[in-house]
Amino acid sequence: MAAVSLYFSRMKSLQVSLGNRSYPIHIGSGVLDDSSLFQKAITGKQVLVVSNDTVEPLYGASLLKTLSPFCQVDILVLPDGEQYKQLETINQIYDHLLRNKYHRTATLVALGGGVIGDMCGFAAATYQRGVNFIQIPTTLLAQVDSSVGGKTGVNHPLGKNMIGAFYQPKAVMIDTRVLLTLPEREFSAGLAEVIKYGLIHDADFFSWLEKNISFLVSRDEVAVTYAIEKSCRIKSEIVSADEREEGIRAHLNFGHTFGHAIETHLGYGDWLHGEAVASGMMIATQVSALKGWLTGAEVEKVRNLLIQANLPIAPPEKMKNADFFEKMQLDKKVLTGNIRYILLKNIGSAVIADGVEREIVEKAISSCRSCVS
């Protein structure tokens, strides 16, 4: 296995450097059982674990065993699914905190995927104007993306993640063992974000992914741990340089402008986030080629890697080109009415592109449809 043979699957710790808001990312098998890591991140005695009805039965008891010796722990179980990522669900967290008299020294712990992490983080950011929280991501997508960087929030029927806040966790605890219970479709969705890092920031990592995608798909522990660490390292470097997305951090949205449009149009939960992003990345890759920045061979590399990762490369059949533009006008990256696209100058280097002609985008979308017909 290329580039992995000397990599040992032991716990690794990275740092997201943000001054007094800096925090560690701990990665490895058994992190969930390491009480010393949690003790360093928890303030006060009150701890509320926020999870969902899929994850809590699997890992709730184990986490309680880890935390109970040194704090007062309660678990709030929410329904599972992107369709519940809304203000009404956030109110359930507030209700629990208020009824049980949680103080400003309390710590919220997000045990779940990106939906739980985003909602728990938003509740932590806004409850009594801010309490500590810890991320324990249980999906590959959350481990490599949403748990790192401090983006929190909920969806609105008119747009994804349109209500939220930048709020950094106290720590991110990534236990690789939890991926053993992750459904195949969810695991593949996470690979979309892993592939994104190679495309926007690290051509060598993209090449490594091409050589090792079969090991990742089969969940080889060493390969998966390496991919998680590499992805988190790239994201932590970008977030440390641009916490509030005023520059380079926007590159992390590669594929997301199109992907969010797909999710909003279909209704949250129809396509998984990573699936929508994969289709969006393919469209953005085609736009980049039509702009003259990528060769046909490079487009084919992206297409082949997404296919091998069991990800969609075409948009939904029932979504028309006009639907994309209608939904993309509600994207957070729209400035003065102009859609801003994240494109590729080459594999490993992203760019923010304003004023891309609609005809080029429509041609790219149509090209993606035809490549699977």
Q: Which one of the listed residues 52, 155, 212, 253 is annotated catalytic? A: 253
Catalytic residue among 56, 82, 193, 263: 193
| Alpha helices per DSSP H over 68-202 | 87-99, 114-126, 140-141, 184-201
pLDDT category at 62 given cuts 50, 70, 90 is very high
Residues 264-290 have a mean pLDDT of 95
All residues at 6 or more sequence positions from 320 whose CB lies less than 8 Å from its CB, including other chains = none
State the Cα–Cα distance between residues 68 and 207, nearest whole angstrom: 44
Please state whether the predicted TM-score (pTM) of the whole model is above 0.75: yes
Helix segments in the chain, DSSP class H: 35-41, 56-67, 87-99, 114-126, 140-141, 184-201, 203-217, 221-241, 256-266, 273-290, 296-308, 321-328, 358-370
Instruction: Please tell me which residue in 260, 265, 291, 340 is annotated as part of the active site.
Output: 260
Q: What is the pLDDT of residue 218?
A: 97
Annotated catalytic residue within 12, 201, 235, 327: 235
- Range 12-181 classified under CATH 2.30.30.280: no
> Closest Cα to residue 266, out of 339, 364, 157, 162?
157
The residues, ordered by sequence, that sit 6+ positions from 364 with a Cβ below 8 Å of its Cβ are 283, 284, 286, 287, 289, 290
Considering 170, 196, 201, 249, which one is annotated as catalytic? 249
pLDDT at 2 over 50: no
For residue 373, pLDDT beyond 80: no
Residue % of the chain over a pLDDT of 90: 90
What is the 3-state composition of the chain as percent helix, strand, coil, each rounded to the nearest 5? 55, 20, 30
Q: Catalytic: which of 56, 82, 229, 245?
A: 245
Reported as a pLDDT band with limits 50, 70 and 90, residue 11 is confident
In the prediction, which pLDDT does 333 show? Answer: 65
Q: Is 260 a catalytic residue?
A: yes
Residue 94 in tokens: 């507030």
Catalytic residue among 85, 233, 256, 340, which? 256
- Compute the average pLDDT of residues 198-219: 98
> Is 256 one of the annotated active-site residues of the chain?
yes
Q: Which of 85, 151, 251, 265 is catalytic?
A: 151
Is 70 exceeded by the pLDDT of residue 320?
yes
Instruction: Read off the pLDDT band of 177 (50, 70, 90).
Output: very high
Q: Is 129 a catalytic residue?
A: yes
pLDDT digits (tens, 9 = 90+) for 17-57: 999 999 999 999 999 999 999 999 998 999 999 999 999 99
**The one catalytic residue among 129, 246, 317, 359:** 129
Q: Which of 314, 327, 323 is nearest to 366 (CA)?
A: 314
Q: The domain 186-370 is classified under which CATH number: 2.40.30.20, 1.20.1090.10, 3.40.50.1980, 3.30.70.120?
A: 1.20.1090.10
Active site residue 249: yes
- The one catalytic residue in 85, 273, 327, 340 is 273
Instruction: Report the Cα–Cα distance between both ends of the chain, in Å, rounded.
Output: 34
Where in the chain are the domains?
Answer: 12-181, 186-370
Q: Establish whether 235 is a catalytic residue.
A: yes
Whether residue 26 lies in the annotated active site:
no
Has residue 200 got a pLDDT over 60?
A: yes
